[in-house]
Chain A
Amino acid sequence: MNLEVLEKTWREQVVRGANEPAPAIAARLKREVAAARRRIRGGIVLAACVLFLGWATALAAHVLGIKTLTPLALAANGVQCLFFAAFIWRAVRSLQVVRREREMMGGTLRESLLAAHRTVEVQIENARIAAWAIPVFVAVNAWLFVTKYFAGEFPDFGVIAGTALMSLLGAAIGAATWHRYRTHLIPLREELAGKLQALETNPG
């Protein structure tokens, strides 16, 4: 049998059973897209809330006379602000790259693969930044706790509990990031690079 027979058989295939009308499917997809957007925005809003909550609490406590805002407390809030601002900046940047990739879905295979490769590169970059930023964040906060303790602004139990909690959280996020980096992102980058190379290679 020659290829023409296979081609003819291929063309005889028809879609059956697609009785769900397009508007109903469109409505479901709209819900999915809206839910995904809410999840992403929710994450950014949560980070922004953490950023401002620290300041709001410190200022409220100062105004109400519960706890004076010392230069050390100001510095601690400032440092945390810097970390969270950096986190939000990276998150927004990653979001832009993901959006760009989605726009490229209607482009050629090459354009789409390049956009997907770029997204994975940014995710790898994020993981690498996290590899040093998380320990730095934990260390800086632990140092601030200790400094506050010696300045008499923080109880000894607070130093231990705060540092332990921060370290545990940092270790958990670090381990999850490392696992994703090693088992998902690196193989994916190689896979995409391989597909791009296959596309670039001129078989002639």
Chain B
Amino acid sequence: MAHSTHEALFAEAMNQHMGIFMKTAYAFAEPEDRDDLVQEILLAVWQALPAFDERRCKLSTFLYRVANNRALNWNRSKRRYRHKLEVFQQSPQLSLPAGDTDSAARVDWLYALMQQLPPLDRSLLMLHLDQLSHGEIGEVTGLTENNVGVRLHRIKRWIAEQKGENDEP
């Protein structure tokens, strides 16, 4: 891959798909580790982009794969991670429309719930919430569409049970 293409793709990933990296980090890391995981994901994206082939999948699918793969392996480096990379000059944050406290509480509740799910289910739920079809989720995970459907059905049922048991906003 040409040097300029690599940089252009990275810029496109950062400018148009930063939400993928942020949501993945929020779903997989504790609040104090989120910046570190975002940076690790960006590093993984930078290193993986030369292997990206647009004939095989969309850029967004590729980025979902890298982000989820890195997040699933996060525990591996987290224990030894002490600001390995230079820190962001200004850390990006995920936020909701100003003043909407109900929505903010709902999202916090959802992230807290995701932390209780096994890592694979966490990925599936996040991809579903980002409105990926079962086929697209299959492309990211390597699961069949049918398998994705069954797993998501179970996850949704579990969430419904939690809504009954917890103080869901």
Contact = CB atoms under 8 A, between A and B. Distances in A.
Contacts of A20: 88-90
B119 to A, nearest CB: 6
A154 B39 CA distance: 55
Nearest to B73: A116
A13 B19 contact: yes
Interface residues of B, number: 68
Nearest to A29: B46
Given A6-B110, A10-B110, A15 B92 contact: yes
Nearest to B163: A1
Contacts of A111: 142
Interface in B22-58: 22-23, 42-44, 46-49, 51-52
B141 A22 contact: no
Contacts of A15: 18-19, 22, 92-94
Contact of B94 (A14, A105, A109, A203): A14
A166 B126 CA distance: 53
B150 A204 contact: yes
Interface string A85-121: 0000000000000000011111111111100100000
Nearest to A105: B48
User: What's the dominant secondary structure at chain A's contact region?
Assistant: helix
Given A105-B65, A109-B141, A195-B120, A11 B131 contact: yes
Contacts of B129: 6-7, 10-11
Interface in B135-167: 139-143, 146-147, 150-151, 154, 156, 159-160, 163
A53 to B, nearest CB: 32
Given A32-B85, A110-B142, A195-B119, A105 B150 contact: no
Contacts of B141: 108-110, 199
Contact of B106 (A5, A24, A110): A5
B76 interface: yes
The residue in A29, A104, A184 that gathers the most chain B C-beta atoms within 10 A of its C-beta is: A29
A16 B95 contact: yes
B103 interface: yes
Interface in B76-103: 76, 79, 85-86, 88-97, 100, 103
30 contacts: A3-B156, A5-B106, A6-B110, A6-B129, A9-B107, A10-B107, A14-B95, A15-B92, A17-B91, A18-B18, A25-B42, A26-B7, A26-B10, A26-B46, A32-B85, A102-B48, A105-B66, A106-B51, A106-B65, A108-B65, A108-B139, A110-B143, A112-B69, A112-B73, A113-B69, A188-B76, A199-B120, A199-B142, A202-B150, A204-B147
